[in-house]
C-alpha cells in the first residue's frame, strides 16, 4: 500500500500527540495583607503550587486555605506567615510532595493560632509539616490522615508551640514517621494521638515541654520500629 503525503502528515501528528507529554499546571501565589480565603483545585499530573525551590507565600493575619490536588507527581509547597491560619490540604495519587510551613517573618506575628488538616490517599508521598519553628505558635491543632492502602509514605512534622494537639492516623504498609513537638507548653501541655494500621512502620517521636505531655500510640501490624523521647 502506497502512503500519500496526507497519510504521512496524519502519522506525524499522531506520533507527536502521543510522544509529547501534556504540560503541567503551575500556580505561584504571593499575597500580603489581612483576611485571605484561597481555594485551589488541580487535577492531573506534575502540577505544582509553588515548587521544590520556590514556595507560594501568604503574609498577613487571618488566612484560610483549601487546596485539593488529584493526580501523580504533584508538588505543594506553601509558606504562611501571620497570626491566624486555617487550612485543608488534600492529595490523591502517588509520588506527591506536600511541604507546608506556618511561621513568623518580618513584621508579621507568629503563626499564633493554627488549625490544619492534611489528608492523602496514595503511595510514595512525602509530607513535611512545620509550624512555629521561628516563634512558638500559641495554639496548634493539626490532623494528618492517610487513607486505607497508603503505602511507602514519609510523614515529617515539627511543631513548636505553647499548646499543640497533633492527631496522626494512617492505614498502610512501609510508612515512616518523624514527629517532633516542643515548646514550653501551657497548663494543658502537648498531646499526640497516633494510630497506625499496617506492616513495617518506622516511628520516631520527640516531645518536650514543662507541663504535662501525653502520647497515645496505637499500632496494628507486624515489624514496627518505634522510638519515643519525652522530656520536660
Residue 82, pLDDT > 60, answer: yes
Confidence tier at 105 by pLDDT (50, 70, 90)? low
What are the residue ranges spanned by the domains of the chain?
A: 24-231
Average pLDDT estimate for 149-158: 93
- pLDDT at position 81, please? 87
Question: Is the sign of the CA dihedral 136, 206, 142, 178 positive or negative?
Answer: positive
- pLDDT at position 186, please? 65
- pLDDT at position 9, please? 45
Query: Which segment of 138-142, 147-151, 186-190 scores lowest on mean pLDDT?
Result: 186-190
- State pLDDT tens for residues 206-229: 998 877 788 999 999 999 999 999
Residue 16, pLDDT > 60, answer: no
| Mean pLDDT of all residues belonging to the chain | 85
Torsion of CA 97, 30, 115, 131, to 10 degrees: 70
Q: Show Cβ contacts of residue 10 under 8 Å, excluding neighbours closer than 6 positions.
A: none
Average pLDDT estimate for 186-200: 87
pTM listed for this prediction:
0.84
Query: Which segment of 38-52, 105-119, 137-151, 216-230 scores lowest on mean pLDDT?
Result: 105-119
Among 73, 86, 81, which residue's Cα sits nearest to residue 42?
73
- pLDDT at position 88, please? 96
Confidence tier at 38 by pLDDT (50, 70, 90)? very high
- pLDDT at position 136, please? 76
Percent of the chain with pLDDT strictly greater than 70: 85
- Strand, coil or helix: what is 145? strand
Amino acid at each position: 500500500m502506497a502512503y500519500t503525503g496526507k497519510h504521512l502528515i496524519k502519522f506525524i501528528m499522531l506520533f507527536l500527540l502521543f510522544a509529547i507529554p501534556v504540560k503541567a499546571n503551575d500556580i505561584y501565589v504571593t499575597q500580603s495583607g489581612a483576611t485571605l480565603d484561597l481555594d485551589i483545585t488541580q487535577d492531573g499530573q506534575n502540577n505544582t503550587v509553588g515548587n521544590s525551590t520556590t514556595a507560594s507565600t501568604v503574609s498577613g493575619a487571618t488566612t484560610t486555605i483549601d487546596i485539593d490536588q488529584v493526580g501523580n507527581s504533584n508538588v505543594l509547597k506553601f509558606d504562611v506567615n501571620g497570626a491566624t491560619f486555617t487550612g485543608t490540604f488534600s492529595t490523591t495519587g502517588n509520588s506527591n510532595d506536600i511541604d507546608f510551613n506556618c511561621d513568623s517573618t518580618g513584621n508579621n506575628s507568629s503563626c499564633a493560632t493554627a488549625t490544619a488538616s492534611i489528608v492523602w490517599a496514595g503511595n510514595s508521598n512525602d509530607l513535611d509539616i512545620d509550624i512555629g519553628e521561628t516563634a512558638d505558635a500559641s495554639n496548634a491543632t493539626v490532623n494528618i490522615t492517610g487513607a486505607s492502602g497508603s503505602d511507602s509514605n514519609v510523614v515529617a512534622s515539627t511543631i513548636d508551640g505553647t499548646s499543640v494537639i497533633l492527631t496522626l492516623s494512617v492505614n498502610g504498609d512501609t510508612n515512616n514517621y518523624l514527629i517532633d513537638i516542643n515548646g514550653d507548653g501551657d497548663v494543658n501541655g502537648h498531646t499526640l494521638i497516633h494510630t497506625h494500621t499496617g506492616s513495617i512502620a518506622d516511628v520516631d517521636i520527640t516531645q518536650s515541654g514543662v507541663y504535662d505531655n501525653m502520647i497515645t500510640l496505637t499500632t496494628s501490624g507486624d515489624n514496627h520500629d518505634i522510638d519515643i523521647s519525652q522530656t520536660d
